[in-house]
Structure 1
Amino acid sequence: MLTNPRSDRVKSVRALSRRSVRSRTGQFLAEGPQAVREAVRCAPEQVRDIYVTAEGADRHPEIVDAALAAHLFVHEASPEVLHEMCDAEHPQGIVAVCRWAEPTLSAALGALPRDAVVCVLTNVRDPGNAGTVIRGADAAGADLVVVSDSSVDVSSPKVVRSTVGSLWHLPIVTGVPVPVILDALRARGVRLLAADGSGSTLLPEADLTGPHAWVMGNEAWGLDAEVRDACDEVVRVPIHGRAESLNLAMAAMLCLYASAESRVQRH
């Protein structure tokens, strides 16, 4: 059992809370039972080490059994060690060190189905919003999420926690400039739908047939004008009450589920 919270191993895991260390090592933390469970189930080849307390192992034996069956390294750690390793204020008894792996943009676009739904995040800075949109894209059956280079680091602990395991359910491409993303999608035949409150097309009236991408903007100021102008259509979610606007995650969910409903009706 690991019992020394000041050991070099513990320090190296804790250091993954820093973006510079994640970039240098290509590793990140998946904290909590749902994130670790999905990492083991969907991408065991990306899991380097799992650390679990005795209580965590008792509460989630299926995760430990699946990890051992996949020949992964599982280490028992004291609650003090796990607390020191984790970014979360209240760790949930289990954490995994994972290797970051993602497809290239060209490879991800090449694998899209004919009626693809894509979500593009441009200048999204809030970790909770980014993670919630990824989780929503997963729930709505989207085929790809692309996160621009000016957005939050998807491998940060807060983003990973807020995806609640969805990080391993669909392709995610990161670190690409917005113009490159839009040009590549258009070249692939994907229509670009800017989700913005200035849109003249209401969401219920939008044409959601064929491959299309929802292009989402910053939490505070929305989409830049040049990004809106580069899209094929600007769509807004109608507001029937007195709310000034919807936040990014809420708007993204509505748009993605409208696409999901359209696809279900066609099939």
Structure 2
Amino acid sequence: MKSKKYRDRFGEYLLEGFKSIELALTEQSTIDGIYLEKTQFDRGRLSFLDQIDFPEDNIFIVEDELLQPLYETESPQGVLAVAKKPSTDFDFLWDDSLKQILFLDRVQDPGNLGTIIRTAEAAGYDLVVCGMGCADLFNPKTIRSTMGSVVTMKVACEAKGDDVLPFLKGNGFYVISAALNNSVDYRSMERKQPHVLILGNEGSGIREEILEQSDKNVKIPMHGKVESLNVSIAAGILLYHFGEIS
């Protein structure tokens, strides 16, 4: 499950930590198995399952050292779960009620991707669309950075911008791109609904063929000798400016 090859083959991924596992069960995600360190079992750390109908046969108590190589966090809680991947197909996730969508073009760092997904959920966005070339949503580092949003946020993966963006524009979405050229200060632009906000690759930004779909380009003004912001920081600023939390 730490390898994309096997995540894809089995359609499963690893969840780490009590909060993420509890969220997954609450959101009706399919958990195939929970693996708990014996030390944590002895401390009664499975109490959160008392209110959830989870089969005991799918709970495995193992020696602590067997799980140690699998953790991504520096201070692990001593529990892992194997979960079924949800559908990440854009056509499956689309519905007419969506009003605020974030499109990511080749965001390749798993930590950035996870942080952006978490921020998008917090800012009230309905869907994150990961274009071709983005980091794997189910990479353990991405999962860790989402802090549970991987099971509560709609995320479409490996979407083709040439297909998705024209479709959204045809459904009345206003397309806003974060870009340095031919752009305006993001603060000068009013919120528009429905809209798509596009963020690009950490080094090269948004591809030209994606930018051609944009109705307006916006930039974040910077002082001093700073040339750019980390994409997850830029995402936070723009998501909260253009998003509408109901």
TM-score (ref. length: structure 2):
0.90
Query: Residue 194 of structure 2 aligns to which amino acid in structure 1?
Result: P
Q: Between the two proteins, what is the percent identity of the paired residues? A: 28
Structure 1 residue 26 and structure 2 residue 11: aligned?
A: yes
**3-state DSSP class of the match of 2:136?**
coil
Structure 1 residue 54 and structure 2 residue 24: aligned?
A: no
Q: CA RMSD in A?
A: 2.1
| Contact map agreement 2:88 2:157 (CA 8 A) in 1 | no
**3-state DSSP class of the match of 1:17?**
coil
Change in 2 beyond 3 A, CA 1:65/1:241: farther
Distance 2:182 2:50 in 1: 51
Structure 1 residue 95 and structure 2 residue 80: aligned?
A: yes
Distance 2:73 2:45 in 1: 19
Pick one of 211, 215, 230 that aligns with 1:228: 211
Change in 2 beyond 3 A, CA 1:59/1:249: farther
TM-score (ref. length: structure 1):
0.83
| Contact map agreement 2:103 2:130 (CA 8 A) in 1 | yes
How much does 1:107 deviate? 3.5
Give the length in aligned residue pairs: 244
Q: Give runs of aligned pairs for residues 1-267 of structure 1, distance below 5 A.
A: 16-44=1-29, 46-57=30-41, 58=43, 60-67=45-52, 69-71=53-55, 73-88=58-73, 91-102=76-87, 104-113=89-98, 116-260=99-243, 263=244
How much does 1:199 deviate? 4.6
Structure 1 stretches of at least 4 aligned residues deviating more than 4 Å after TM superposition? 87-90
Distance 2:240 2:222 in 1: 17
How much does 1:170 deviate? 1.8
Distance 2:28 2:180 in 1: 38
Change in 2 beyond 3 A, CA 1:161/1:50: same
How much does 1:189 deviate? 1.7
Change in 2 beyond 3 A, CA 1:204/1:96: same
**3-state DSSP class of the match of 1:97?**
strand
Distance 1:112 1:240 in 2: 39
**3-state DSSP class of the match of 1:215?**
strand
Query: Residue 216 of structure 2 aligns to which amino acid in structure 1?
Result: E
Distance 1:87 1:164 in 2: 12
Distance 2:45 2:118 in 1: 22
